[in-house]
Each structure stands twice: as C-alpha cells, then as structure tokens.
Structure 1
Amino acid sequence: MGIIGLEKPHSLTQSLWTSEQIRAGERQAAAACGMAMFELMTRAGLAVFEQARARWPDARHWWVFTGSGNNGGDGYVVARLARAAGIRVQLVQMGDAERLSGDAATARDHYRADGGAIESLNALQDAPDLIIDALLGTGLSGDVRESARCHIQLINQTQAPVLAVDLPSGLCADTGRILGVAVEASMTLSFVGLKPGLLTGRGPDVTGRVLLASLGIQPRLQQTPVASLMHWDQLRRQLPKRRRGAHKGEAGRLLVAGGNAGMNGAVRLAGEAALRCATGLVRLLSHPAHVHLLNLQRPELMTAAFPEFDDWHWSDALVLGPGLGRDVWAHDLFEAALKAALEADKPMVIDADGLWWLARRRDDGPLTDNRVLTPHPGEAAMLLGCKTSEIEADRLAAVRAIQQQYGGVVVLKGAGTLIADEGHVRLCHYGNPGMASGGMGDLLSGIIGAFMAQGLTPFNAASVAVCLHGLAGDSAAKDGGMLGLLASDLFSPLRSLINQDDEHDNKHLDPDACR
C-alpha cells in the first residue's frame, strides 16, 4: 500500500487537495478498480494498524476513539486488527453505536463478531500505551460540539502517544484552522492525498509527523489541486549555474534599501544572506547615520546613503523594506526606490515596512507583476484591511486575495509558508519554531532578491528561497537546537545547501515507497 513520509517527493506528495476532492477521488478510483468502498476502509485501517505497530511496537494497551462517520469505521478496523494481535483494546464510540450506517456499521459488526466490546468514556481503565484518534473525519467544518470536546480533552490530557486517523479530530482539513479544540497527535496518517490543513495554519501544531498512505489506488481527481507541495530535491535544480570562467558581474547585482536609524541590522542581514546565496555584488542603501558601520564585519558588502544615492540603474534586482521605518526619510526612500524599479521594470522584493507603505497606496491598484511581496500574517491583514485572525483562519484564501489585489507573487510567511502567483499556489513544509525570531524575514527577503538578481523569475526565486530558508533553519536547529536560534546562524547552512550535489540530496529517497 505504501507509506510515504513528506521527505520523499513521490507523485502522491506533489499536490494538495480539499477534503471533498479526496472523497470524490476515492469513489472514482474505487469504481475504476472495481473495488467496494468497504475494501478501501479496510485498507485504511490496516495501514493505521501497521504504522502503529511499527512506531510503537511495545504498546500493549490501546484506546481507540471512534466517531459516527467513515473515520470511525477506520477505527473499528484498527481495533479489530489490534485485538487479533493480542493487544488489549478499549474502544469508545462517541454517540450511539447502533446509529452507525453504511461501511462504518459493517466495520462495527465485524469488530463485535470477533468479540470486541464498545465501552463508554467513563469505563476507560488504566493508562494506555497508545491512543488511536478516529473520532472526527475530514468533513468537519463548524466548531467541535460539546460531546466531541469531552473526548478530545481526555485524549489530550492522557500521557500517551496519539496516532490520528487521516487528520487530528478538530482540525479543519482545508484551512488548518482549529475548530474550537483539536487532538494533539504524535503522528498523523493521511489517506490517498494530502490536505492543506495538515501543513499550514495551526495544522503543524497538532499533527505531529505526517505520513501518507496511498491505499493502493491512484486517485482519479478531476479537479485542479488547490496547491502543490514543494520539495528541495526538485527545486534545487533551478539554482543558477555558473560557467567556469564566470566573473562577479555575471552573478547578479542586488540593491537592498532600508535600514533607518537604529534598524541597520535588517539590511545587513538581508545583504549577507544574498552574498551567501551566490549573488556577485550586493550594495546596502541605508540611513547616513550608520552607513559607514554596515560593512565593518562583512567588507564584501558595499554601502551607500540615501538621499545622496542616485545610481538606481546599477542593480539587477531590488529589496525594499528591511528596517525601513515609517518616518519622512522612509517615505522618501520608498517612493524613490519604487519609482526607479517601475521605470526600469526591475524585479523587486517588498518586505517589512515596505509593505506598510504599499498598503497606504492601496487605491493605486497593482504596481507590477515583476515583484514579490513577503508579508507575515499581521502584515497580510494590513494589506487586506482585516484582522490577523481572519488571515490565519484561511491562509490559502488570504494569499490568493493579496495576490489578486496587489498582483505579482505573494509569500505568506508562517508555518506552512504559501507562495502564490496569478495561477498557482505552492506550500513549503520545511522550517521549525526556532525560526520565530527577529531577522529571519530579513534573511528571506535577501535570499529571494539574490535569486532574482541571478535571473530566476519572481515565482521561482520565491519558491527556491522559501524552501532554502526553511531547510537552513532546520539544519541550524539540528546542530545547536531550536531555542535561541539566530537569523545569522543560517548563513553557514545556506552556503552548504546551495553547494550540495544530487547524490547527497537523493540518498534518502526510496523509489519503491509507493507501489
């Protein structure tokens, strides 16, 4: 059947689908294969059981929580297989087990026929070694009801690992929003195709490790996927190549504009990140108060002061916004840089306070498609004139809305960073919580600018940069730990990652992972 970890870029992990698309695809694929839907449920339960045994081989007492839909039916299959393997099983049905219908009722009957008992929540005894969460399926859209809330709270209060069936109960499969309360899983085994809610929004907070079980069918999904999942193994092929006789002028020139008084570190971080990503020449354009300090520890960076600077044609790409500020000086720099980029159709990144100034020009309409906007959720809310909570409630809708209103490419940062142009959305699953620290966004803007200066399109530059940035953060966290991770800790892994060869990248791939 095949269990695929997200680190393996198999065809089944390339696309993200809504829950309704997956349900329709399952029916179509089963019909095409002449397979009854109960057979698909049996395969799902078997996949969960086998993964549970492989991951927690010493667990001899399981709690299995089942709901009223097909997700609950999967749970009955798991419970029956566990009992057959000599595992002590206590199964709790949320609601009336006699009211189950269809395949879920069939799975219940098979479990009972093999001697399995259905218990009440109050009857649970002793601490389990493992909990199987099969309470709520992918069809949940409104807030969790009180009856389910009680079950979920008990699961979360119990000191045992949790394996979620398809997705943690209480998590919205399509948006990653927590619907009041959600199971905090140690591992989630998703079926047939990946859902965006597993990988963005609050999804990463509650899913644990995400695996995908193909169930032995090829999904015949008629609709277009809502997004695609990015894999560094594939994206790294887009990294700019250098000929043996190359000189620095061929490797791109990047201008980083910002660094108001007291905020010079932002342009400094963005500039060195660009250098570490192989940009030939980088110039920092900042406030006169500290321009002479910016390259003391990194002499490879060139500097200039605004408003004296007038060599706007020098660079191949522009990063506008790191440490920019919101005073008169910042306004003048923003307008001058924007005007120069527009006149030359120069690719540009607008970040940080550059987005604040951009939002104030909302009525002016889209500026140009030759740019990348990089908002975090708060900045995204500012761009759309809404609340941050509205952005986080549906990040896919938010990134599309910003792109439609402002044009170009939009990078909505956060867990499960999203990248959107007019026709596509990509999701990055790399990165870690340690990267929630000052300066990380400045690094990202410099990396995107670096690749645009070297000739990549805005969409490809953003995609490569976001994945590289996340992987560099993962590498730095692995070496020294997540807590206390600094933006500057990523400089070394950035350089290392862009120099890795295919043999290193592919050593973990398993071409036979899904058959």
Structure 2
Amino acid sequence: MPVPRHIFDQIKKLIPPLDGSLHKGQSGRVGVLGGAMDYTGAPFFAAISAFRLGADLSHVICSPTAAGAIKSYAPDLIVHPMLSEDSSPEKVKPELTSLLSRLHVLIMGPGLGREPYMQSYARLALSLAKDQGMFVVLDADALWMVERDLGLIKGYRRAVLTPNVMEFKRLSEQVAIDPKTPSDKRASLVSQALGGVTVLQKGPKDIIATNTLSTSSSDHTPSKINQEEKEEEEVIEVDVMGGFKRCGGQGDVLSGTVGTWLAWGKCFESGAFGDGSIPPSRMPVLAATAGSIITRTTSKLAFRKQGRALMTEDLVPEIGKAFVEVFGEEAWSGSEGGKL
C-alpha cells in the first residue's frame, strides 16, 4: 500500500532548502538523551543518523561513563556528559533546561538503560521538553519508563512513540487493548488511549497512527502549544521494502531519522523556511512516516551490499542514498532552489 500522495507532498514541504537562505541551525538541532555505562552505540547511531539525514547539529546527553566512547566514534557530535550517577536531577536541571531551549527535538531512550538514576534524568528531561513545547521521540527504555507511568506522555501530541514488537505488546497491555483486536487496528487504539500521541508500530509493515476521537480538551497538549482541537483518526501503513536482516540498532537509526524530520517541522513552524501551510499538529505523523520510509529504504540498500554480514554501522552511509531514492536528487542537493 503506497503512502497517500498528499502525505508524501506534505513530507516534502518539511525538507529545508539548500539554496543559501538558511544559517547554521535552521536545518535542525537534534538532541539524543541516552548512553549509560553499557550502552554507547545506540545514542551514537541515533545522533549520527540525524546528522547524515541532514540535521545541522546533533547533541548527545549522556552519562560521563559513556561520553568518552561516544566522542571517539565521531567528532561531529556534541557530547554533554551531565547525567552523572553522583549528581541529581535537581543539580542538573538548570544546565539541562538551558540546553533543551536551544534544540528543536529531543530523542529519548537509545542506550538510556533502566538504572534508577538514568530513568530519573529521563523523567526530568521529558518534563522540561513538554514545558518548552518541544517535539520528542521515545524509544527503547524511554518506552519502558512510559509503560510504568502513562501520565508522563498522555495527551502530549508533540510526541512520537516507536515501539518494536515486544514494546508494543507491553504498551498495549498497559492501556488495556483487547488482544483479539485486529493487528492493524491496535496502534490507533493505543494512540487513542494515550490522548492522541502518535504511535509508530514497527513490524513487517510499519503502522503510524494518531487517534483523538475520544480525547477531551483537557487531555490535549499544554495550552502554551497552539494545536488543533478537532477530533480525528489517521492511520498510515508503510510497506516499503527493507533489508531481510534486522540487526540490533536499526531502531536507533529510525529514532534519528524521525527526530530529524520533527526538527525540520519545528523549523518550518518557526518560519525559518516554507509557506506555513502545515499545522504543528501534523508534524508527528508526517515525521514518523518519513522516518519509516527512509529507514526501510536505508536497510534495503545496506542489505544489498552486506547480506548476512549487515551491521548497524553499514546503514549509516546509505542514509543519503536512501533519501535520493525516495525524494530525488533535487531534494537532496538543493538544485531546485539555486545553483552554485
């Protein structure tokens, strides 16, 4: 089932122009919160994927025990080792608040871990992000956090959840979805139960759903964020061919690509580029759809080269090629907007 043409056209509108009209940062400033002692690869892959897709700046907010390794992977990333086990959320709050105010999107979960100190920092970061009206992506152990307190995310319509099969099963159980419900209906019902949060259900085909049909106005995004209040349901299926090997880490690439599109959406919303024709309430479902298409295409291209030997690091160089395959050379190089 192809993505509807009007959805594809809206996605393309969120791609920043490469014509010399933008300055550094207006093509997206992305933050990834994660990276505990044993998990340095996941936040790296999310952050570097955002960079490779076209974000201007990519930050990693992590534990000091992970910072050295992440810095060594790529000097392009800006690493903030502020999530120390010896500190506390109260002490970190001013520095974290300042940093988040400079970002367009926060990706939470890759390499976060379940240690109490990392989970407490994640709860703080999510609260600050919501206060600032940021777009957020929640994956991996950030979903584990949400499963234990659905109130952390309920009704926050600037969020995208990206659960895999097991994460989606646990989330469905937490919101009491009948297990007999047809599989293609569950993502919409989970979104509905969470007050319209966009859900990207990963699987043989990705299902992106947002559902506010039974959401009261009190469940909507905080009043400081001007979002549409109309009730609606939208479900998009992405069955673009991917690779036949699902290596650990592909979900981190997805988080990075979804996050970049949300960052572009924030830049579009702020007037950095574009015609302002897409409301902020559309950004999460568009970003989730775009991220799914790009990641699956990236996986396909990498698998063609590596086969069974495929590792997550093989995906990263293919992101730009996947972009060109999906959106065309003109969208990638900016040749539509001007010539050097």
Give the equivalent residue in structure 2 for 1:424.
Answer: 234
User: Per-residue displacement from partner, 1:87-115 (whole Å, max 9, x unpaired)?
Assistant: xxxxxxxxxxxxxxxxxxxxxxxxxxxxx
- 5 Å matches for 1:423-442? 423-432=233-242, 434-442=244-252
1:397 is matched by which residue type in structure 2? K
Q: Which of residues 284, 304, 317 in structure 1 aligns to 2:80?
A: 304
Q: How many residues align?
A: 278
Q: TM-score normalized by structure 1?
A: 0.50
Give the equivalent residue in structure 1 for 2:299.
Answer: 473
Q: Which of residues 42, 45, 67 in structure 2 aligns to 1:291?
A: 67
Q: Is the counterpart of residue 462 in structure 1 residue 281 in structure 2?
A: no
1:495 is matched by which residue type in structure 2? G
- 5 Å matches for 1:132-171? none
Q: Is the counterpart of residue 409 in structure 1 residue 198 in structure 2?
A: yes
Q: TM-score normalized by structure 2?
A: 0.74
Q: Which of residues 221, 231, 240 in structure 1 aligns to 2:15?
A: 240
Which consecutive aligned stretches of 4+ in structure 1 deviate over 4 angstroms post-superposition?
A: 228-236, 390-393, 500-505
Q: Is the counterpart of residue 263 in structure 1 residue 52 in structure 2?
A: no
Asked if the contact 1:377/1:414 (under 8 Å) is kept, the reply is yes
Offset of 1:433 from its aligned partner?
A: 5.3
Q: Give the Cα–Cα distance (whole angstroms) in 2 for the partners of residues 502 and 315 of structure 1.
A: 26
1:477 is matched by which residue type in structure 2? F
Asked if the contact 1:253/1:316 (under 8 Å) is kept, the reply is yes
Offset of 1:432 from its aligned partner?
A: 3.5
Higher relative contact order (CA 8 A, sep 6+): 2
Query: What percentage of residue pairs aligned between the two structures are identical?
Result: 25
Q: Give the Cα–Cα distance (whole angstroms) in 1 for the partners of residues 328 and 102 of structure 2.
A: 38
Asked if the contact 2:242/2:296 (under 8 Å) is kept, the reply is yes
Asked if the contact 1:410/1:421 (under 8 Å) is kept, the reply is yes
Q: Give the Cα–Cα distance (whole angstroms) in 2 for the partners of residues 429 and 460 of structure 1.
A: 16
Give the equivalent residue in structure 1 for 2:255.
Answer: 445
Offset of 1:326 from its aligned partner?
A: 1.0
Asked if the contact 1:381/1:391 (under 8 Å) is kept, the reply is no
- Relative to structure 1, the CA distance from residue 257 to residue 306 in structure 2 (aligned partners, 3 Å threshold; closer, same or farther) is same
Give the equivalent residue in structure 1 for 2:118.
Answer: 330
Higher Cα radius of gyration: 1
- Relative to structure 1, the CA distance from residue 465 to residue 360 in structure 2 (aligned partners, 3 Å threshold; closer, same or farther) is same
Unaligned runs of 5+ in 1: 1-12, 15-227, 506-515
Give the equivalent residue in structure 1 for 2:323.
Answer: 498
Unaligned runs of 5+ in 2: 84-91, 212-232, 267-282, 331-340
Q: Which of residues 298, 301, 309 in structure 2 aligns to 1:484?
A: 309
Q: Give the Cα–Cα distance (whole angstroms) in 1 for the partners of residues 9 and 204 of structure 2.
A: 21
Q: Give the Cα–Cα distance (whole angstroms) in 2 for the partners of residues 425 and 314 of structure 1.
A: 32
Q: Which has the higher helix share?
A: 2
Give the equivalent residue in structure 1 for 2:131.
Answer: 343
- 5 Å matches for 1:208-227? none
Offset of 1:290 from its aligned partner?
A: 2.1
Q: Give the Cα–Cα distance (whole angstroms) in 1 for the partners of residues 294 and 197 of structure 2.
A: 21
